[in-house]
Amino acid sequence: MGKVFICDHPLIQHKLAYIRDEKTITKDFRELVDEVATLMAYEITRDIPLTDAQVTTPVTTANCRMISGRMLGLIPILRAGLGMVDGILKLVPAAKVGHIGLYRDPETLQPVEYYVKLPTDVQERELIVIDPMLATGGSANAAIELLKRRGCSSMKLMCLIAAPEGIKAVQNAHPEIDIYVAAIDDFLNDHGYIVPGLGDAGDRLFGTK
Ligand SMILES: O=P(O)(O)OC[C@H]1O[C@H](OP(=O)(O)OP(=O)(O)O)[C@H](O)[C@@H]1O
Ligand SMILES: O=c1cc[nH]c(=O)[nH]1
Ligand SMILES: [Mg+2]
């Protein structure tokens, strides 16, 4: 079974409190999500393999370790996943970015696909599927299934806030996937919103409500 990692670094938790706050304006919300994404990227890249390398310093030769192996791919689920991309790219600027456009039908809560554009070598990359909110898990599962259908085999899921229902849904459908979150909240309300959550991440990022 894939693991669930709670990124409980004090800086992440402090910023998450402001992100949740209904008084936080769009500009600050966007900046805070970007900052938390950078901090979470530090955690999610912790197991990237290293190989020995020698570097010539101005003094002598240094035995170093450098990143080797498969390159990263970031897969934000539109729209809200976009808010975390730049923050991760600050740490891994060579990562390529693929976009999966999904919106959740407000009645059925089922994800509706409207856009897909992936790097041509996506199958060869270690992927991070990015979405601030894991509610029912329908959107994350749809994105992961789409990537698997395209031949992708190695991926992690990165969210700011998850509902227990969403974690269960991803674990049932994709038991091998590790999930990184800043917080696991209490439950979903009747409209499929995470409680206490932060409201609609896309609307708060882009000021659409
Ligand atoms: O786990 P789920 O129940 O599928 O819900 C989570 C999804 O809902 C939100 O997207 P939304 O449909 O609001 O689209 P948006 O990002 O364009 O606002 C959120 O960003 C996730 O993609
Ligand atoms: O709480 C929620 C649930 C789904 N999507 C959001 O943006 N927020
Ligand atoms: Mg939304």
149 is catalytic: no
| 65 in Cβ contact with 53 (< 8 Å) | yes
Residue 47 annotated to the active site: no
Ligand 2 site, CB within 6 A:
80, 133, 135, 192-194, 197, 200-202
Which whole-number Å values give the CA distances from 3 to 88, 180, 194, in the listed order? 21, 8, 21
Closest C-alpha to 151, from 114, 98, 111: 98
Residue 51 Cα to ligand 1 midpoint, Å, equals 38
104 in active site: yes
pTM of this structure: 0.96
Smallest CA separation from ligand 2 atom 3, residue: 193
Q: What percent of the chain has pLDDT over 70?
A: 100
Q: E strands, 68-209, where?
A: 72-78, 96-97, 99-104, 111-117, 126-130, 133-134, 155-162, 178-184, 187-188, 194-195
139 assigned binding-site residue: yes
Q: Give pLDDT tens digits for 55-99.
A: 999 999 999 999 987 899 999 999 999 999 999 999 999 999 999
Instruction: Tell me the ipTM for this assembly.
Output: 0.98
